[in-house]
Amino acid sequence: MTDKLNHFDSDGNAVMVDISEKNPTSRMARAQGVIAVSRAVFDTIKAGTCKKGDVLSVARIGGIMAVKRTAQIIPLCHTILITNCAVDFSCDDEKNEITAVCTVKTEGRTGAEMEALTGVSASLLTIYDMCKAIDRSMVIKNIRLCEKSGGKSGHFLFEGKNNAD
């Protein structure tokens, strides 16, 4: 790991990283996040009775759409060719929590970490948007990169230890 911030030049100006000399490789990034909801929201989502439609299906599409537009949202992010994107959900009945996982694959000179993080964020925000009429006290939390592979820095696997824990 390096301490150098590569989005700044020697004068401290924000710059887009030059990836022209990098070799294209297969790359994958997987991110996840959680939304904690009330029992009423959780039951509505599980039963598929939200007035706005199937919450998790719409949230999946929202996440995928966000992945494809990441470079338009994150200022210094490169546009990448997405070769695959999946957004999956798991529901914890005891905690009234929904975990979203976004996996992005690409072939190129830069990774897909920002796309995976953006996709999981947008999917959780979509859940919030669709269910806010029931209860606005939902909490989005623990958004993080879980794994990435490919590229010069190689494989990364989140092992649950960082300053946020």
Return the ∠ at Cα 152 (arms to 150 and 157), rounded to 5°: 50
User: Has 3 been annotated as catalytic?
Assistant: no
Q: Which of 43, 88, 129, 135 is catalytic?
A: 129
SS3 readout for the chain: CCCCCCCECCCCCECCCCCCCCCCEEEEEEEEEEEECCHHHHHHHHHCCCCCCCHHHHHHHHHHHHHHCHHHHCCCCCCCCEEEEEEEEEEECCCCEEEEEEEEEEEECCCCHHHHHHHHHHHHHHHHHHHCCCCCCCEEEEEEEEEEECCCCCCEECCCCCCCC
Q: CB of 120 within 8 A of CB of 83? A: no
- Give the residue numbers marked as catalytic: 129
